[in-house]
Chains A and B, each alone.
Chain A
């Protein structure tokens, strides 16, 4: 019984609150400013997006968010694709509250489940920048190359038992 209580407490200690403070996204398939503006306007239409600092030359968009909103990284990707382009790279800066992570392991942070790949076991504390490795967040070539980092099925689909799993690295 005591072991069960300890186990439950340990389990709950992994469910801590996360906070995405900003996202930096690079889009692929474009050069001109009208195309960049199409992505800019598409991203701005999301209700949780506050400001976007667009660098037309590098096709990068630094996104800051409105307070007390749920940030959905998949919606950011969809908005870039709706504009007619794709995401080449996405990094998210998150405030971690003493989250222990291990390589090739799922960890729940707030309402999101992360699957850390190519990392050393460590405890994340304070502001850290993670990079997404899921399909559609990196080039097709890189996604194929990174499949050697895990044997778990969730890498291919970004899901497990209907739950979204974010594949990330530091």
Chain B
């Protein structure tokens, strides 16, 4: 009886998550302490080199370790080269070290780090630590919320390693920087009356990379729409495409669908 009571409370307590707005980037805000989120991301892209349609699946667990620290663990699957296999994983940690809040607004800053490993075949010079490359990255992100508009910018340095036997194509030019700029706006509801109202957010994000060895770069743009149901379930739909590139890419353009659910964990 006691078990059912705890389980029911656990499920009823449900979402106790902080503001995690963006689709293609992470903001400086944190999840609620002791909360857990699960995500399943699907990407539908096209290989520039082979012309094949590449489907990627990325399940992710997010854990709010404390009010300032959160950790993500990711697994990557892909059907690149016509076989659906696990291609790697990633660990990510974010530490929010600065926060100034006012009613309906905030400015926050966080430091983050990532380590990824992949056994994927390397077919491009750009580095993608989200399933295609082995390497590590560290950076800073700042997020500003003003009423219904959120702006976020990040900068990070990464170092690419080989994917096991697969050599990183750029040989010795393994260092680069990633930089992002994101804007999101709460479109609906026009006025809040209940937790049951569906929220709709529109985002526009710019994601760039520059290889520090030769300065080759790309900038992608990624518009997206986000639905939040019952203040618990989140669905993201996005499309990313390159607008500027002289850094050779293979799998760059494509659509994204992501589902997210949040739990409050009493541990």
Residues of chain A touching chain B, judged by Cβ–Cβ distance below 8 Å, are 26-38, 40-42, 44-45, 54, 56-57, 59, 81-86, 88, 139-140
Contact = CB atoms under 8 A, between A and B. Distances in A.
Interface stretch (B9-17, B118-126, B131-139): B9-17
Question: By DSSP majority rule, is chain B's interface helix, strand, loop, or mixed?
Answer: loop
Interface in B95-109: 99-106
A44 B34 CA distance: 14
B214 to A, nearest CB: 41
Given A44-B13, A83-B32, A35 B102 contact: no
B43 interface: no
A38 B17 contact: yes
B16 A28 contact: no
Interface residues of B, number: 40
Contacts of B228: 32-34
Interface in B22-52: 29-35
Contacts, number: 111
B53 interface: no
A92 to B, nearest CB: 19
Interface of B: 13-19, 29-35, 67, 99-106, 145, 147-148, 186, 191-195, 197, 199, 228, 231-232, 234, 264, 266
Contacts of A37: 15-16, 195, 231-232
A27 B193 CA distance: 17
Nearest to A140: B100
Contacts of A32: 19, 186, 199, 228
A33 B197 contact: yes
Nearest to B9: A45
A40 B234 CA distance: 18
B231 A31 contact: no
Contact of A59 (B15, B19, B103, B266): B103
B106 to A, nearest CB: 4
Contact of A41 (B104, B194, B264): B264
A83 B18 contact: yes
